Chains A and B, each alone.
Chain A
């Protein structure tokens, strides 16, 4: 019950509209669907799984949520081969070895020595353990690109996400005092297990509509000129229609706009787009496809 008590302080957010406003205030333009899902996370303490194309602002959700709740953001970037040692905890081996050497001359028993070197001072806390150990308020735990981690790690997460407790064999079971808000993101490079999906709320972020993307650009780059903005967003939308291997996300739109601005241009033209093509097309094939489709046509 302690957890819910402490939570009520930092939570003046009592409906979805407030949440949308707060998010927008922090520079994240969201729609009602996503806002509802995030609202439920803050209310019901269940993890949220966000899927979507690259660069549509999945990771950003967690960052903004942490900023809104004025709490810590703990991030775990997943990769293939990620194991419990680098995600949960690890012992500080060097320090342990030194301690053993120092204690060699003392007349402690082996049991005492073992107890000492497996004490908390030798424990390196990795993100998941950190999120459980938080002692002032619920942190936001971002588990980024969970699809890159392997099945074994996913299975481990199941336990964590349902009980919010971690067992360290040498220390015993540690239970979260403040249950973290958990956001998982996935790019769908691998199908996640049903068991994991079932434990989470789910949200799919699609590419934004023209109006929404305009709003996003304006929120992130307030100094942009209207004409350039319209052009950039329209251009990126046209590029998304092409059949590229890596379609540009919102990140690419912002890159493209920023590139034009830092080159001191006030409008997009064919030459400028060609020079900054790397902002939207990320492979040789895509560049070729873009050029074949006719940049001039897409700008008009």
Chain B
């Protein structure tokens, strides 16, 4: 163990704190309480045995399998060089940094959008373009929104999505009817009447929230559509028990944590960093396979609604796509495919991938403008 052996207690506490900060900067969710715990644990275990310290800190500082998997590397990086030890927060290890490359072409649009949102959010309502413009914008194809209208469309979409989310949750509450007698409360109320249960108290039906999984195609042509569905996902988070969002092209990346951010412009900015380095083609089947392997067991259940947003131009094998969709269909409640091309008058789903997918879908709908996205409400 470099540099830790003959330290005084304060010094080692300081380095534990520094390590906590380093780990937090690299994506582990460590709060003040965890840091305090880490210091306490280091005191209990002692800092002599490096391996044991690693195990102990891992138990304290991680809280999920993902963090667990990353921890050992972070620990090694932090304590492998004594130079870092003396000045740990000033630089990051090369391995960790590669994750946040500068954004590339495909994510530039995200960046642009987020800046739009940021600049326009504070003057909301002042320059609204009026009802007719709103109507027009709702129908315009998301891929050719004039640049000037982008900010307006942003605002409208955000408002409408939010309304929709609210409406959906109200619908749920009305359905929430009583079904069983609550013995506990009934008896409590019977005491003043000498033990005769005159007023029956009913137990309400449990509100069962649904889970939404969104699978977004971000390959070249889909980009402008995807961005609006990201917003859609963001707005729906309040209604669903959880919304898990994944981006895919030839690779799959989960962006759920980014969307959890309270501040949407900030979330989109982070997203633009995450989405860096996307390659051209789309392999839906393979991406779904990765999803099924890594997340399927956890996320798919009878109250999961699974939404795929893609144009169906798949360079992979149709059989593979069908098999994966079948697996999802069996476990999820609904499998919805939104295809922006369906908005075109002369489009028919005859690409090989798309026709292989059709038998497994519960809903196949368009998603080329705001109106079609809002129409989704029917299926949720």
Contact = CB atoms under 8 A, between A and B. Distances in A.
A297 to B, nearest CB: 23
B297 interface: yes
A97 interface: yes
Given A16-B52, A104-B194, A191 B298 contact: yes
Contacts of B132: none
A194 B58 contact: no
B350 to A, nearest CB: 31
A204 interface: yes
Interface string B44-63: 11000001100110111011
A201 B194 CA distance: 50
Interface stretch (A21-29, A69-77, A88-96): A88-96
The bracket for how many chain B residues form the interface is 35 or more
Interface in B198-221: 206
B187 A93 contact: yes
Contact of B195 (A33, A97, A202): A97
A44 B41 contact: yes
Contacts of A51: 64-65
Contacts of B45: 16, 36, 39-40
Interface in B30-45: 31, 33-34, 37, 40-41, 44-45
Contacts of A173: none
A54 to B, nearest CB: 10
A151 B240 CA distance: 13
A257 interface: no
Interface-centre pick from B37, B51, B293 (highest chain A CB count, 10 A): B37
B184 A90 contact: yes
Given A32-B51, A198-B34, A202-B68, A113 B191 contact: yes
A113 B192 CA distance: 10
B187 A194 contact: no
Q: Dominant SS at the B interface? A: helix
Contacts of A32: 51-52, 55
B242 A93 contact: no
B183 interface: yes
B63 A97 contact: no
B58 to A, nearest CB: 7
Contacts of B40: 44
Interface in A60-76: none
Contacts of A189: 297-298, 301
Nearest to B49: A16
Contacts of A100: 190-191, 194-195
Contacts of B242: 191
B176 interface: no
Interface string B273-298: 00000000000000000000100011
Given A91-B184, A190-B298, A204-B68, A198 B33 contact: yes
Contacts of B195: 97, 100-101, 104
A48 interface: yes
Contacts of A48: 59
Contacts of B29: 194, 198
A18 interface: no
Given A37-B55, A40-B41, A243 B184 contact: no
A202 B41 CA distance: 13
B255 to A, nearest CB: 15
Interface in A103-143: 104, 110, 113-114, 117
Nearest to A16: B52
A49 B62 CA distance: 11
A106 B157 CA distance: 69
A4 interface: no
A198 B184 contact: no
Contacts of B51: 32
Contacts of B206: 81, 150
Nearest to A189: B298
Interface-centre pick from A39, A49, A81 (highest chain B CB count, 10 A): A39
Nearest to B192: A110
Nearest to A196: B63
A114 B183 CA distance: 16
A248 B192 CA distance: 58
A7 interface: no
B37 A46 contact: yes
A43 B64 CA distance: 22
A200 interface: yes
A167 interface: no
B64 A110 contact: no
A292 to B, nearest CB: 14
A201 B38 CA distance: 10
Contacts of B301: 189
Contact of B52 (A36, A49, A97, A114): A36
Nearest to B244: A191
A37 B33 CA distance: 17
A197 B37 CA distance: 13
- List 8 tightest A-B contacts by C-beta distance, closest first: A100-B195, A197-B63, A36-B55, A37-B59, A201-B59, A204-B68, A33-B55, A202-B62
Given A36-B52, A40-B41, 13 more contacts: A37-B59, A43-B44, A44-B40, A44-B41, A91-B187, A104-B194, A188-B298, A189-B301, A191-B242, A198-B33, A201-B60, A202-B59, A203-B59
Interface of A: 16, 32-33, 36-37, 39-40, 43-44, 46, 48-49, 51, 81, 85, 90-91, 93, 96-97, 100-101, 104, 110, 113-114, 117, 150-151, 188-191, 194, 197-198, 200-204, 243, 245
8 contacts: A16-B45, A36-B45, A44-B44, A49-B63, A85-B184, A150-B206, A200-B63, A202-B59
Interface of B: 29, 31, 33-34, 37, 40-41, 44-45, 51-52, 55-56, 58-60, 62-65, 67-68, 183-184, 187, 190-192, 194-195, 206, 241-242, 293, 297-298, 301
